[in-house]
A and B are shown apart, each in its own frame.
Chain A
Amino acid sequence: MPIGPFGIDPVIWAVLRLVIAAGLAVFLVLNGALAQIFLERKIQAVMQDRVGPYHTGPFGLLQTFADAIKLLGKEDIRAKLTDAPFFLAAPAIVFSPMLASFVVLPFGPDFVGANLNVGLLYLTTLGSMTVLGIVIAGWASNNKYSLMGGLRSAGQLISYEVPQILGLVTVVLYVGSLSMVDITNAQPGPLVNFLILPMAFVTYLIAALAETNRNPFDLPEAESELVAGFLTEYSGMRWGIFFLAEYGEVTVVSAIMATLWFGGWHGPGVDALPILGVLWFTLKTYMFVLLFIWIRATLPRLRIDQLMGFCWKVLIPLALVNIMATAVLILAFADPRLPLAIVNWILVAALVFGLPFTQRRRLLRFRARTKERVAMRNVRLAP
């Protein structure tokens, strides 16, 4: 009889491995969400000069656990005129692609669910499936605020998928592989991809904020305009699952950024002790989670036309220029790192310094137009 790992029969092991992996992913998502909600509340509290949760447990650590139990215990309410099968299915459609994303995340050396050779494409694909659930949720709720949220979500996510993929393509061009493990292995030293391809990182970061419905782009659930957008009719654990999915998405997106631009599991001491890679990977991922929280506490929400205009008129052209430059430089130079870095940093500088300039010009034009209109009205109203 063949003996598999740990002396278990290979047939049983194949099934057992599946169960363990799925259980581990669910465990990671649940605890990650709890930790992120706690961090978010605490950090925002500090930034807004408040205390934040502090009654339950030391430093309020148990507050999110209490909230989760409260959510689980809530009455299951469904409005009468909702479209039952879709209303019930929508949270699952949002949650399951996010959970499936954990398969290809490279947590550490030899600590990957599956080393797909198209891992990055797989992650992008699953990210794009979330939209379907949100649109269905907005439609099935039979509520105009929900519908508006669903519509905004569809428009926003489809538009921002383009710069997101363009940002990833630049890295893939440079590394020459779509596998998450290969991309990690390509940046072992301190010279991580971020130093060479910062423009792709900026593109992806902005697109990822939009893709996860995080703050400057949280139009689908804008509280001050749409009650809660597509979440309006949801309550209890169904609402909770949407939030689990959102925090899971943030984790996945942060993990992608940590892997592609910051060397994934690589860090001091990993060669001697491979399990340390998991620690480095987690730290790098949570660095971006913290960045997301910081952005949420800092920036106001965009208007929908600003959002679309920024995506199609600024982000996509810059990303296309970046891809073109990257492809040409990789073909032209045997060691393209230095020219790539120079071009990329110039593009980042163009974005950072050009944006306020163009915005100021637009604002001046707008003011001039308003003044003209007011003047015309005064002429008409004059006796």
Chain B
Amino acid sequence: MFDFLEPLFFAIFSVGIIGAGVCVVILRRITAQALFMALTFASMAGMFLLLGAETIALFQVLIYVGAITILILFGVMFTKQDDRGYGLFFQEQTPWAAAFTLVIAVPVVFLAFSFKDPITPSAKGGDLIPLAASLFTDYAFPFEIASVLLLAALVGAIVLVKRDEQ
């Protein structure tokens, strides 16, 4: 009955990811870029929803839209704002950039078109329990490594900004 909805949403999210991603790169105003980045993250969460991974989708929004974008805006607001020359980092680097992009893009396109049998999403119960189980068994060690890394970053940040208490 509503079979057309899934391709429709896929199209909307695709346009959201690619269009907003392009906007992040080419726009000048940094707040607009941050907002478009939030839109990219939200569209990616939509893709996860279409794949039946609602927990990952919600964490995507919670962490990337709700925290990381805010932190970037937070940083932007504390820095002095003036008009930057367009493409400060990409002057005279077009051939290198094109070559580098091709090296990554070609395998990705081949991979994308070589998928014959996409995995069908699990029907009932969602991805919450599989996700939790794999996080605490198979991937427990990488998970712990990531948390130790984040803790080190946190402590480092505190040490950097700590004033001498005299």
Contacts and interface: CB of A to CB of B under 8 A. Distances in A.
- For the complex of A and B, the 3 pairs showing the least CB-CB separation, nearest first, are A128-B66, A125-B62, A125-B58
Contact of B77 (A124, A125, A129, A151): A151
A116 B59 CA distance: 15
B38 to A, nearest CB: 6
A11 B69 CA distance: 39
Given A117-B125, A121-B55, A178-B128, A128 B62 contact: yes
B77 A136 contact: no
Interface stretch (A37-45, A153-161, A236-244): A153-161
Given A14-B2, A117-B126, A154 B54 contact: no
Given A117-B126, A121-B55, A178-B128, A154 B70 contact: yes
B17 interface: no
A129 B61 contact: yes
Contact of A86 (B31, B61, B67): B31
B71 interface: yes
Nearest to B74: A154
Nearest to B55: A118
A360 B93 CA distance: 62
Residues of A contacting B: mostly: helix
B54 A116 contact: yes
A256 interface: no
Contacts of A139: 31, 73, 77
Given A140-B31, A151-B77, A131 B128 contact: no
Contact of A150 (B69, B71, B77, B126): B77
Nearest to A151: B77
Contacts of A151: 74, 77-78
Contacts of A83: 31
Given A129-B61, A135-B74, 10 more contacts: A10-B1, A83-B31, A121-B62, A131-B66, A131-B70, A132-B70, A151-B77, A151-B78, A155-B74, A158-B70
A294 interface: no
A147 interface: yes
B20 interface: no
B58 A136 contact: no
Given A10-B1, A86-B31, A140-B31, A129 B74 contact: no
Nearest to B129: A117
Contacts of B50: none
A345 interface: no
B65 interface: yes
A86 B35 contact: yes
5 contacts: A132-B66, A132-B70, A136-B35, A154-B71, A155-B74
Nearest to A178: B128
A111 interface: no
A129 B65 contact: yes
B58 A132 contact: no
A136 B31 contact: yes
A154 B66 contact: no
Interface string A1-34: 0000000001100100000000000000000000
